Amino acid sequence: MKIPEELAELGRKRIEGHAVEGFVYGSGPKQPKLMLVGEAPGETEIGNGIPFSGRAGQKLMEFLEGLGLTREDVYITSAVRSRPYKWREKRNRQGEVEMRKYNRPPTIKEIIAHAPIIDYEIQHVEAPIIVTLGNVGLQRLVGKSMKVTEVHGQFLQHSVLHIDENDTFQWSKDKYLLFPTFHPASVFYNPKLRELVASDQQRLKDWLQKQ
């Protein structure tokens, strides 16, 4: 499924002036086995336009493989569709200091700027379950009261937040089946999470096999 081009254009306009670059479309069928909601693309993704195609993406593909799924079976999106960056100094091989762009988490303003896009996807993609990856994806949908460390691996029938014409978040009338788990990149920083990710994966696999 592809979002309307006017909506992508609106997203690009709404995020102008923020330290972000590129624009990555969500990808996957209209009737996927599940929908994945990440944080924001990184350098690799804005280079090739494919969500989760970098280092975190490789981990995510392993997660999907464990579920018996491939990229083509799922709809992949994220809270923000451009890469949020910050400039930092980096010493090159010659020992000279260079400025380089680094990834950073999106700000709430950037999340609001791209909220209409994910709202559209949630309404139009017919996914039986929405798997959120990390706190940014989770909290975009259910607010700050939930934390991935507390609710990961649970099946939650829950309303989701969408933006109104005043850029204020409102709860949906419909409830959606949500399954929060960790962001695939989180195991790079905290290898202890590997076991928790594996047990979430098993629960999700059991659920998929019952469908």
Nearer to ligand URA, 71 or 165 (CB): 71
Give yes or no for residue 51 binding ligand URA (CB under 6 A). yes
CB of 191 to ligand URA, least distance (A): 18
Binding mask 119-158 for ligand URA (x = CB under 6 A): ----------------------------------------
Which of 3-11, 36-44, 139-147, 157-165 is the region at the interface with ligand URA (rule: CB under 6 A)?
36-44
Residue 32 interacts with ligand URA (CB under 6 A): yes or no: no
Query: Per-residue x/- mask for ligand URA, residues 53 to 92, rule CB under 6 A?
Result: -x-xx--------------------x--------------
CA distance 144 to 138: 9
Binding positions for ligand URA, rule: CB under 6 A: 38-42, 45, 51-52, 54, 56-57, 78
